[in-house]
Amino acid sequence: MAFNSYAFLFLVLPLALALFLLAPPRLRRVFLVTASLFLYYWSEGPYAAILPVVVLALYLAARANGWGRRGGRAGFALALALTLLLLVYFKYGGFLAASFNSLRAFLALPPLRFKQVHLPLGISFFLFSAISCLVDCRRAGAGAGRPRLASIALYVTFFPKLLTGPLVPFRRFAEMEAGFGVTAPRLRAGIRRFVMGLGKKALVADALARAANGVFSLPAGELDLGLAWIGLAAFALQIYFDFSGYSDMAIGLGAIFGFDLPENFRHPYWARSVREFWTRWHITLSQWFRDYIFLPLAYRLLGRLPQERYLGVRAESWSYAGATTLTMLLCGFWHGAGWGFALWGLYHAAFMLLEHFGWEKRLKRAPRPWGHLYAMLAVAGGWVLFRSPSPAYAGAFFRALLGLGRGSGALYFPALFVDREVLAAAAVALAGSVPLLPWLGERIRRLLAPWRPGRPRLAASALAAARLAFLALVAALSTLAIAGGSYQPFLYLRF
| Closest CA relative to residue 489, chosen from 209, 203, 284 | 203
3-state DSSP assignment of residue 390: coil
What would the DSSP string read from start to end of 288-345? HHIIIIIHHHHHHHHHHS-SS-BTTB-HHHHHHHHHHHHHHHHHHHHH-SSHHHHHHH
* 372 noted as active-site residue: no
How many angstroms separate the CA atoms of 194 and 423, rounded?
A: 24
Q: Which of 42, 62, 267 is nearest to 163 (CA)?
A: 42
**Which amino acid, one-letter code, is at 351?**
F
Cβ–Cβ under 8 Å, residues 458 and 172 = no
CA distances from 320 to 294, 299, 300, 324, 358 (A): 9, 9, 11, 6, 14
- List, in order, residues 6 or more apart from 163 with CB less than 8 Å away: 121, 122, 125
Q: How far apart, in whole angstroms, are the C-alpha atoms of residue 96 and residue 203? A: 37
Residue 302 to residue 310: CA distance in whole angstroms: 13
CA-based radius of gyration for the chain: 25
Active-site residue (options: 267, 335, 356, 372): 335
Alpha helices in 8-118 (DSSP H): 13-22, 28-44, 50-64, 68-106
120: alpha, beta or left, given left = phi > 0 and alpha = psi -120 to 50? beta
In whole angstroms, what is the distance from residue 462 CA to residue 458 CA? Answer: 6
Rounded Cα gap, residues 26 and 32, in angstroms: 11
Q: Which of 148, 230, 195, 167 is nearest to 13 (CA)?
A: 195
CA atoms of 190 and 21, how far apart (whole Å): 15
Measure the CA angle with vertex 183, ends 181 and 185; round to 5°: 135
423-443 core/surface letters (b: 16 or more CB in 10 A; e: else):
ebbbebbeebbeeeeeeeeee
Active site residues: 335
